[in-house]
Amino acid sequence: MSRHQSSFSAKILTASDLLDGDVIYLNAAQTWTRQLSDAHLFVDAEAANAALATADLQQQTVLGAYLVDAATGTNGAPTPIHFREIFRATGPSNRFHGKQADLPA
């Protein structure tokens, strides 16, 4: 794989919701969703960074926004690369709580 600086790996923008701390993602309509499958996959750096800068200004809804590496999964929806982000999108493994319980399968 090219390690050239201009190469950009696809990303999604995630954060936590101010009121309940739940994990949220930015969708294609530039609003926030609880569901990873609705997240927008950024394929260019400029748009991703612009979205991050906008999120940082939305202090009344959004905490600690950051970009994470992701790819299109087998189901066509964005899937994060790192296991931490997969846990965030699912919930704890010891109890059926969090997104795995709250969202429609």
Partner 1 sequence: MYTYSDFDRAFLRNRVAKFRDQVSRRLSGALSEDEFKPLRLMNGLYLMLHAYMLRIAIPYGTLSSVQMRQLAMIADRWDKGYGHFTTRQNIQFNWPKLRDVPDILDALAKVDMHAIQSSGACIRNVTADHFAGAAADEVDDPRPTAELIRQWSTDHEEFAFLPRKFKVAVTGSEQDRAVTKMHDVGLKLVRDANGAPGYEVSVGGGLGRTPMIGRVLREFLPREDLLPYLESILQVYNLLGRRDNKYKARIKITVHEMGLEQLQALVEERLPHQRARFGGAEQKHLSALEQAFTAPAYVTRSSDDFQTALASNGAFRAFVDSNTAAHKNPDYAIVTVSLKSHGATPGDATSDQMRALADLAQSYSHDELRVSHEQNILLPHVHKSYLPTLYVALRNIGLATANIGQISDIIACPGMDYCDLATARSIPVAQQIATRFQALNLEQDIGPLKIKISGCINACGHHHVGHIGILGLQKAGIESYQITLGGDGTQHAAIGKPVGPGFSADQVLPAIERLIYTYLDLRQDPEEDFLAAIRRLGLTPFKAALYGPKEAANAA
Q: What is the contact surface with partner 1 in residues (CB under 8 A)?
A: 16, 18-23, 59-60, 63-64, 81-84, 87-88, 91-95, 97-99
Please report how many Cα atoms fall inside a 13 Å half-sphere around the Cα of residue 19, on the Cβ side. 2
Rg of the chain over all Cα atoms, to the nearest angstrom = 14
Q: Whose Cβ is closer to partner 1: residue 44's or residue 97's?
A: 97
Q: Whose Cβ is closer to partner 1: residue 46's or residue 96's?
A: 96
Q: Whose Cβ is closer to partner 1: residue 83's or residue 105's?
A: 83
Q: Whose Cβ is closer to partner 1: residue 10's or residue 47's?
A: 10
* CB-based contact 23:66 (threshold 8 Å): no
Nearest distance from C-beta of residue 21 to partner 1, angstroms: 4
Taking CA atoms, 6 is separated from 10, 47, 80, in Å, by 13, 14, 21
d(CA 59, CA 35): 20
